[in-house]
Amino acid sequence: AKWVYTFGDGAAEGRADMRNLLGGKGANLAEMASLGLPVPPGFTVTTEVCSHYYANDRQYPGELAAQVDAALDHVAALTGRVFGDAENPLLVSVRSGARASMPGMMDTVLNLGLNDVTVEAVASSSGNRRFAFDSYRRFIQMYADVVLELDHQDFEEVFERVKEEQGALQDTDLDADALANVVERYKDLVARALGKPFPQDPKEQLWGAIGAVFSSWMNQRANTYRRLHNIPESWGTAVNVQAMVFGNLGDTSATGVAFTRNPSTGAKELYGEFLVNAQGEDVVAGIRTPQDITEAARKNAGSSKPSLETVMPEVFAELVQTANRLESHYRDMQDLEFTVERGKLWMLQTRSGKRTAKAALRIAVELAGEGLITEEEAVGRVEPAALDQLLHPTIDPKVARDVIATGLPASPGAAVGEIVFSSEEAEKRSGEGHKVILVRVETSPEDIHGMHAAQGILTTRGGMTSHAAVVARGMGKPCVSGAGGIRVDEKARTLTVGSESFTTGDIITIDGSAGQVLKGEVKMIEPELAGEFGTLMGWADKVRRMKVRTNAETPADARTARRYGAEGIGLCRTEHMFFDAGRILAVREMILADDEAGRRAALAKLLPMQRQDFVELFEIMGGLPVTIRLLDPPLHEFLPKTDAEISEVAASMGASVEKLRQRASELHEFNPMLGFRGCRLAIAYPEIAEMQARAIFEAAAEAGKKTGSPVTPEIMVPLVATKAELDIVKARIDAMAEAVIAEGGVPITYVVGTMIELPRAALRAAEIAETAEFFSFGTNDLTQTTLGISRDDAASFLGTYVAKGILPADPFASLDRDGVGELVSIAVERGRTTRQSIKLGICGEHGGDPDSVAFCEEVGLDYVSCSPFRVPIARLAAAQAAL
Ligand code: ADP
Ligand code: MG
Ligand code: MG
């Protein structure tokens, strides 16, 4: 079998598309060599050797040694140097390279092949003794660190001691003798630590380094990284052995890194850094301040150190040319490593460069504009989830951060405001024109209005799926949750961190992307929706099949969603309208009434308000579909809690406080999520559903008249388990429609459908579809009811489940394809069997999660619906799913 692939001098046995076999680095070195770019010759030991090594008790394949020798001969023929030769030695680097770039793997060893004999040969052939010993001491230090696994600190101490003795400030101040002295002391150190001398045999050195690369595939760091990034163990790593080129051969030599475009802004400019008379990792290690590559960047940074463009104009010109060549060859922004040896440019690595979301967007759009990639490819180049970074104000990366506490990054974006400790305060102060941050131990459904009024939310308790986190994400507001280092006393209105205390009106900034709480006002950058963002979104819209709607009930959210491109409302949760300050009293009267007459009286007060809500939503949506869900949550969520609240309701109803208290306790439930909610309310108290249906129909008629385009509301019945439930509620809705039509004399069109959020409904979808004209998968509840996991109580164990691999991801964030997904597929299939044209959508949190959106495309849903701020993410994800 072939275990080794050579490259160099305009030819290579490998190619870029052989990444699985050669690893990323090896495949691209081969490709660059084939392109005729100046790549030091070398060879790649394949990932199959790594697999063989682990499958066979850490033994190499029998043919490997001979193939490595042959490859070394090949490199010798191309370089005119021989590995281990006493006169004209070849030195090599040994570099690991997995398929996916993987921190945690063995570090590179440079200058391998040096020993007490070859160092003298290098000294005389280069005419530079200092360089030879500088390379030797670097080699021993690296080899001792990464192959022999000795403490590198000890070596640094020796080096510093020699510098002191010599009165040297910089590494470069040490002369050849001083460096030779460092080498001697290093060798002593190794001998003492190891009980045997530093290996002098180059072959032993080489196999030591190759073995270290393969061993590092299974080290702790690499294992952890693989687990976190879902990289299978079976992939293995490759090893690259490559002739050394030297950036530390004096002032005409250098080493550096460059991006073909600016990785933080995406601007089309060569961007990078280099160091004169330096080797490999010196640039990243920061031992000296690197210099800019271009003159423009130098000026921009106000640096006094000359750019590569001025110090080595010819090398610079060749680098620019090479960068362009590589970028058009790979059709993507590249991250390059290069070294200059006595004025000659050598390329040591190329790969697709990491970039910020902003840069990804700009680069994708510009590459398409330049004709390097198609518009569809550009759509595929931007990570949908990364758009989140672009859609919220963020903290200016240039400013210093005074972080006073950290918590979970529960909802992205940053916000500044005055601290408030209650939702009432939040509403009041924001009504007076102040920006506020709502700070609470935790939030509950009653805080919705306060959360709306606030710029951002900070809680000291609760996880990523806590009420605060879920609602904030839905609203697109920054939120830091579970900041346990903070103590909040809501009564005393104090926020304490360590010895520092803050109170109402003090200004803080929260960074919901980083989970940080910062003192004072920090400078922000506003998101930009036009420009490249708009262009890419336009391309995405051309590609996608599924529609994207939004979950919204307030006019503000509906407008935001339309700005972000929503094509209708997929879920309007009417109960959110009931929490509004002006209405909660009437809602409470309705719930606490002890007979139908009492309920109807209270509902009559609510009717005009609901109607007005819907008129506004219909107008904003201008003829786009709007799905309205009838009242869903358990009634007790609306109950008055404090004495003052109870007295207020009692006074308004003319009932006794005692009686109300008793009625409230009657409504208590042990498990409200599975209790008296959803269509069960509509069946027990049909007058509630009737009021809502009337409000919807009257609003549709009114909005239709106003805007001139007819409105066809979609009325959605929640928490249906049986067809009979839906039939009963639908009959009430139909009757109400007839009544409103008769009263107004205007025709009204509407459809009635249901949420599929209980496993039984998914299974009985065929018969439910006899009545339902649409299904909307309520995957939040469907996940809860399928897994039997309460979203609100999952925080204590779900993390462990994911860490142990019991679940691949948080099923409330990313749809559980195997379980919940199967129920969705079943319902889709059975629903369509009965009603071929049934409209199908999803309205859980999953509607904005790219993986779940891909699943929705696979099962053929007609639309996804998500919170307004996720609409662009869903548009892009839907497009990518359709590609
Ligand atoms: P990493 O994956 O950590 O970047 P690399 O193998 O790319 O590790 O190498 C680390 C540094 O050593 C880089 O700056 C690289 O350019 C340099 N380097 C690697 N091989 C050689 C070589 N044959 N000659 C000169 N420099 C090299
Ligand atoms: Mg590298
Ligand atoms: Mg539900």
- Distance, in Å, from the CA atom of 242 to the CA atom of 340, rounded to the nearest integer, reads 16
Distance (Å) from CA 552 to ligand 3 centroid: 15
> For 34-52, how does the pLDDT look when each residue is reduced to its tens digit (9 = 90+)?
999 999 999 999 999 999 9
- Distance, in Å, from the CA atom of 116 to the CA atom of 350, rounded to the nearest integer, reads 34
ipTM of the complex: 0.97
Sheet of 334-341: strands edge to edge?
Answer: 291-292, 271-276, 254-259, 334-341, 344-352
Alpha-carbon distances, residue 662 vs 571, 595, 830 (angstroms): 34, 15, 46
- Distance, in Å, from the CA atom of 114 to the CA atom of 137, rounded to the nearest integer, reads 10
Give the model's pLDDT for residue 471. 83
Q: Classify 170 as helix, strand or coil.
A: coil
Give the model's pLDDT for residue 841. 98
Q: Which residues contact 775 (CB under 8 A, 6 or more apart)?
A: 753, 754, 755, 756, 765, 768, 769, 827, 828, 831, 838, 839, 840, 841
* pLDDT mean across residues, the chain: 93
Give the model's pLDDT for residue 285. 66
Q: Where are the beta strands (DSSP E) in 24-66?
A: 42-45
> CB of 456 within 8 A of CB of 418?
no
Confirm or reject: Cβ of 277 under 6 Å from ligand 1.
no
**Nearest ligand 1 atom to alpha carbon 245:** 24
- Distance, in Å, from the CA atom of 620 to the CA atom of 90, rounded to the nearest integer, reads 73
State the number of CA atoms in the 13 A half-sphere of 86 facing the CB: 3
- Distance, in Å, from the CA atom of 819 to the CA atom of 816, rounded to the nearest integer, reads 6
Ligand nearest to the CA of 42: 1
Question: Residue 642 — pLDDT band, cuts 50, 70, 90?
Answer: confident
The residue written with tokens 């506020």 in the block is 436
Ligand 3 ion: Cβ-proximal residues, 5 Å cutoff = 757, 778, 781
Taking CA atoms only, the protein residue closest to ligand 1 atom 22 is: 244
Among the options 479, 679, 843, 856, which is catalytic? 843
Distance (Å) from CA 674 to ligand 3 centroid: 10
At residue 183, φ and ψ (nearest 5 deg) are: -60, -45
More confident call, 474 vs 736: 736
Confirm or reject: Cβ of 240 under 6 Å from ligand 1.
no
**Nearest ligand 1 atom to alpha carbon 338:** 16
Q: What domains appear along the chain, each with residue ranges and CATH number?
A: 49-243 (3.30.1490.20), 254-355 (3.30.470.20), 393-525 (3.50.30.10), 544-634+669-882 (3.20.20.60)
Closest CA to 880 of 387, 530, 382: 382
Region 508-518: mean pLDDT is 94
Give the model's pLDDT for residue 153. 92
Model's pTM, two decimal places? 0.84
Taking CA atoms only, the protein residue closest to ligand 1 atom 23 is: 244
> For 156-193, how does the pLDDT look when each residue is reduced to its tens digit (9 = 90+)?
999 999 999 999 888 888 999 999 999 999 999 999 99
Taking CA atoms only, the protein residue closest to ligand 1 atom 27 is: 280
What angle separates helix 657-666 from helix 584-592, to the nearest 10 degrees? 80
Ligand 1 pocket: which of 225, 348, 350 to mutate (most atoms within 8 A of CB): 348
Phi-psi region of 332 (alpha: psi -120 to 50; beta: other; left: phi over 0): beta
**Nearest ligand 1 atom to alpha carbon 257:** 14
| Token digits of residue 603 | 């509902």
The residue written with tokens 């609510």 in the block is 606
Hey, CA dihedral for 53, 59, 62, 66, is it positive or negative?
Answer: positive
Name the DSSP letter for residue 371. T
Give the model's pLDDT for residue 745. 84
How far is C-alpha 317 from the chain's CA centre? 37
- Distance, in Å, from the CA atom of 71 to the CA atom of 484, rounded to the nearest integer, reads 58
> CB of 206 within 8 A of CB of 239?
no
- Distance, in Å, from the CA atom of 468 to the CA atom of 439, rounded to the nearest integer, reads 11
Taking CA atoms only, the protein residue closest to ligand 1 atom 6 is: 95
Confirm or reject: Cβ of 455 under 6 Å from ligand 1.
no
pLDDT above 70: percentage of residues in the chain: 99
The Cβ of residue 645 has, within 10 Å, a number of other Cβ atoms equal to 16
Number of H helices, E strands in the chain: 36, 34
- Distance, in Å, from the CA atom of 809 to the CA atom of 414, rounded to the nearest integer, reads 26
Is 50 among the catalytic positions?
A: no
Among the options 392, 452, 467, 846, which is catalytic? 467
At residue 711, φ and ψ (nearest 5 deg) are: -110, 130
Is 229 among the catalytic positions?
A: no
> For 83-107, how does the pLDDT look when each residue is reduced to its tens digit (9 = 90+)?
999 999 999 999 999 998 887 677 8
Ligand 1 pocket: which of 145, 240, 339 to mutate (most atoms within 8 A of CB): 339
Q: Could you give the angle at the alpha carbon of 458 between the alpha carbons of 494 and 802, nearest 5°? A: 135
Name 336's bridge partners. Answer: 258, 350
Ligand nearest to the CA of 216: 1
Confirm or reject: Cβ of 339 under 6 Å from ligand 1.
yes
Give the model's pLDDT for residue 709. 84
| Token digits of residue 720 | 């249906």
Phi-psi region of 547 (alpha: psi -120 to 50; beta: other; left: phi over 0): beta
Question: Residue 203 — pLDDT band, cuts 50, 70, 90?
Answer: very high
Ligand 1 pocket: which of 95, 105, 111, 345 to mutate (most atoms within 8 A of CB): 95
- Distance, in Å, from the CA atom of 158 to the CA atom of 166, rounded to the nearest integer, reads 12
At residue 682, φ and ψ (nearest 5 deg) are: -65, -30
Question: Residue 662 — pLDDT band, cuts 50, 70, 90?
Answer: confident
- Sequential DSSP letters for 521-583: ---EE----SHHHHHHHHHHHHH--SEEEEE--SHHHHHHHHHTT--SEEEEEHHHHHTSTTT
Burial-class residue 749 by CB neighbours within 10 Å (0-12, 13-18, 19+): exposed
Binding-site residue numbers are 573, 629, 757, 778-781
